[in-house]
Amino acid sequence: MYSGQPAAAKELWRTPRNFYSVDREVSIAKRLKNLTHARIASLLDQTWKPGQSDAIDLYILYSPLSTSNFLALYKSKASLDTRTRLFTQVLEGIAFLHENGITHRDIKPANLTVRSYDPPDAQIIDFGCATTETKTLYDRPGTIPYLAPEQRDGQYHDLSVDYWACALVGAELIGLKRNNERIGDEGLKTIHSWLDQQNSNAVVKSCRAMLKVEPEGRMTAEKVLEEYLDPYRGDMKKGSKRALDAP
């Protein structure tokens, strides 16, 4: 497939142990291709190969290609306003996924790309852990520091795990420093105490609302957008500074 667009190629290996998850990712990518949204990386092709001799079992192409992610955003000198707008866009993407029956299950800074700082332009990528099931028995998806309390062996979880992970990303976005361990009871108390010490702003309020132990207590992405982030929604009509050019 030749579209003229820069794209990101993801290599997928099918093995007896992972063929189900690989096929699930391709299925969800195809589904998203027909559900376009500005905050979701779109599928270009799931059959492309760079050459006949290549040993990789499968490639899927996503576009547009992004040059940065939230890990770089954390370290940048981007303003609180820019950070809040990018965070808002992530929640818009999550709300869209959930509206269409998809739970991402691996929200983390590396899976949140920044295509531009001016105007702010973020996208969600990598649907390797995503599911369309409303209740899922924990099958070890996700990344340990962002796992919700209910993501444990023998327990079921639902789309609210995305809200928990978004809350942790939001807190890190405004300065929270933590290790790469899973959040336990004491860690959660520490984070809430840290949030209480920050100047009250839209991101702080959003994080408090989503970072709840009980899944049913977490505010949904759509509700957070309505309650706290509505002023930051919509595209900004500014320049076109690339993420690589950000301070």
Tens of pLDDT, residues 31-55: 887 888 889 876 555 554 555 444 4
The number of domains in the chain is 2
Q: Is 73 exposed, middle or buried (0-12, 13-18, 19+ CB in 10 A)?
A: buried
Query: Which residues, 6+ apart, have CB-to-CB distance to 77 below 8 Å?
Result: 246, 247
Helix (H, G, I), strand (E, B) or coil at 232: helix
Other CB atoms within 10 Å distance of the CB of residue 5: 12
Q: What is residue 29's predicted lDDT score, i.e. its pLDDT?
A: 79
pLDDT (average), residues 234-245: 53
pLDDT (average), residues 123-138: 92
188 and 215 co-located in one domain: yes
238 and 191 co-located in one domain: yes
209 and 88 co-located in one domain: yes
31 and 79 co-located in one domain: no
pLDDT for 237 beyond 60: no
Residue 151 belongs to a domain: yes
In angstroms, the CA 38 to CA 41 distance is 8
Q: What is residue 245's predicted lDDT score, i.e. its pLDDT?
A: 42
Query: Which of 63, 79, 105 is where one domain is finished?
Result: 63
Residue 42 belongs to a domain: yes
Q: Is 187 exposed, middle or buried (0-12, 13-18, 19+ CB in 10 A)?
A: middle
pLDDT (average), residues 78-93: 98
For 13, the domain range is: 8-63
142 and 231 co-located in one domain: yes
Q: What is residue 45's predicted lDDT score, i.e. its pLDDT?
A: 55
Q: What is residue 87's predicted lDDT score, i.e. its pLDDT?
A: 98
Residue with the larger pLDDT of the pair 24 and 49: 24
Proportion of the chain above pLDDT 90, given as a percent? 63
Residue 1 belongs to a domain: no
